[in-house]
Structure 1
Amino acid sequence: MYLCPLCQQALVLNNKQYQCVNRHSFDQAKEGYVNLLPVQQKNSQDPGDNKEMMQARRAFLQADWYRPMAEQVGATLQPLQVTTLLDLGCGEGYYSNLLQQQLTIEEQHGIDISKSAIRSAAKQYPQVHFAVASAYSLPFAAGYFDAIVRIYAPSLASELSRVLKVGGHLLTVTPAPEHLLQLKQAIYSEVRLHSDAVTDITGFQHVARERLSFQLTQLTATDLMQLITMVPLGWKFSAAVKAELLAQAPAIQCDFYLDLYQKVAKA
């Protein structure tokens, strides 16, 4: 299932320990996940979002505010007959779980650099294989997956191409121009909208783009606070601006691009 992150040899699970022929070993946690992020691939002692951001995101997503986007991701993948799927930067596993319910997937994986997020995901969704791992050094064999879902997560094009089968698909979700517009308007006098350009990804052909827009119209103050806390934009809010926005409780615009790419064969 996995490759050793140190020598790229196959890992074999034996008595809750993944081992390779070079005797590198990685324990399977009691929750079922495995940590395949060696210290030399970490950019800090505890990489990933901080605890406050993680808890806010988990609560916000589990309240299903972004469910329309998650369901659209599943609907886009449905005709592709995906049997092996990777959720890149899966966090606490919200999207992994919904995709598992929507699609007929034989083997589903989720990776994230946050150990806390992966522990939470593995506890809640044991039907998915979760690992702590870097998107820049994926612990999977070449051509392993039919499809990869990348919702906001940074990644390396060469690694995406390596682990996808020829003809396999990459589905990215990125902010469209008016995403979270009201949050931007609260902190900037002049708002800069997100780009509408399609990103070229080496080794892939862009197949299709869908734009999904909807409003969050019944957010409580708690919900809105969770949204502010979980997004990078949240660091820009002063206490006064945050209090004013929470008192106003405006409808919040959600605006996403879903871009479908297909891996092309090398010439």
Structure 2
Amino acid sequence: MSLICPLCHQPLLLQTASYRCDTGHQFDLAKEGYVNLLPVQHKSSRQPGDSPEMLLARREFLDAGYYQPLRDRVAAWLSQRLPAVSAQLLDIGCGEGYYTAEMAAALPQAQVYGLDVAKAAIRMAAKRYRAIKFCVASSQRLPFANASLDGIVRIYAPCNEEELSRVVKPGGYLLTVTPGAHHLEQFKALIYREVQLHAAEEKVYAGFNQVAQESLRYRMTLSSVAATTLLQMTPFAWRAREEVWQTLAAATAFDCEADFTLTLWQRT
């Protein structure tokens, strides 16, 4: 077991329906099967993360298959690199589990974990995907033992880079997904006078070497509901005027481009 206590950092052992450490801290499993490892003193707000309404809209959008090419590519990369048997894999910022579930399907003999700060997201994920171990926790304080994971996936999620290097085994992998230059530029054209392309993420992870990078770019034709939901899922939503929302709601279809950059890093 790779989980550690968020309070004293001792190993957590599952006993009946609770995780316990030798110090005496106890974390009960919820009826959905997840565990909450986010102590109140580690919360940045009363209900951190996305709201239940936003999560339901996001699940509907993802279930429609618009981001399935990304999900499939992430799963393929992992299945090619991680051990076929007994791999330990973590999806940081897993949300309602759309990508996490495909990772588990691609690595049926692995132990896959999903972590998110939003309790509502983890509850949704755990109800649908029973074979995955989900936990409510902060990506800034990963509740995993040192050098215990074979891989971590970070799809747009915030992270603590020191924590990533702490928990990934030597030779293990970090897979990141970031926006490509042309990602959703059609939404930008509705909002801004001048469209600025996404700048490439110039990040170097201490303790990791970059070993592969790939661009995934394709066109999407969205329904009006999917277009408004997708805009809500982006930072552009804060700058969208009312007429932008009305334009999307009235559209029979909205064509836009998905553009992702997948980067694979290996722990030195």
Query: The TM-score by the shorter chain falls in which range?
Result: over 0.9
Query: Following the alignment from structure 2 to structure 1, what is the Cα–Cα distance between the partners of residues 204 and 123?
Result: 34
Query: Following the alignment from structure 1 to structure 2, what is the Cα–Cα distance between the partners of residues 235 and 163?
Result: 35
Aligned match for 2:95, one of 91, 95, 100: 91
Query: Following the alignment from structure 2 to structure 1, what is the Cα–Cα distance between the partners of residues 118 and 60?
Result: 17
Per-residue CA deviations over 1:34-75 (Å, capped at 9, x if unaligned) read 000011111000000123322221111111110000111112
The TM-score, its normalising length taken from structure 1, stands at 0.95
Equivalence for 2:159? 155
Aligned match for 2:199, one of 175, 184, 195: 195
Contact 2:71 2:99 in 1 (8 A): yes
Q: CA deviation at 1:203?
A: 1.1
Specify every segment of 5 or more residues in structure 2 that has no aligned partner in the other structure, as ranges.
Answer: none
Q: CA deviation at 1:204?
A: 0.8
Per-residue CA deviations over 1:176-232 (Å, capped at 9, x if unaligned) read 111011111111001221112442111111111100001112x21111121122222
Per-residue CA deviations over 1:223-245 (Å, capped at 9, x if unaligned) read 11211222222222222111113
Q: CA deviation at 1:247?
A: 3.0
Corresponding position: 1:183 with 2:184: no
Change (3 A) 1:15 1:105: closer
Per-residue CA deviations over 1:231-266 (Å, capped at 9, x if unaligned) read 2222222221111133343311100000000111xx
Secondary structure of 2:164's counterpart equals: helix
Equivalence for 1:50? 51
Equivalence for 1:252? 256
Query: Following the alignment from structure 1 to structure 2, what is the Cα–Cα distance between the partners of residues 31 and 52?
Result: 19
Give runs of ≥4 in structure 1 deviating > 6 Å. none
The TM-score, its normalising length taken from structure 2, stands at 0.94
Counterpart amino acid of residue 228 in structure 1: L
Specify every segment of 5 or more residues in structure 1 that has no aligned partner in the other structure, as ranges.
Answer: none
Counterpart amino acid of residue 43 in structure 2: K
Query: Following the alignment from structure 1 to structure 2, what is the Cα–Cα distance between the partners of residues 23 and 196?
Result: 46
Per-residue CA deviations over 1:109-166 (Å, capped at 9, x if unaligned) read 0000000000000000000000001111111111111111100001011111111110
Equivalence for 1:235? 238
- Report the RMSD for the aligned CA atoms in angstroms: 1.3
Corresponding position: 1:12 with 2:13: yes
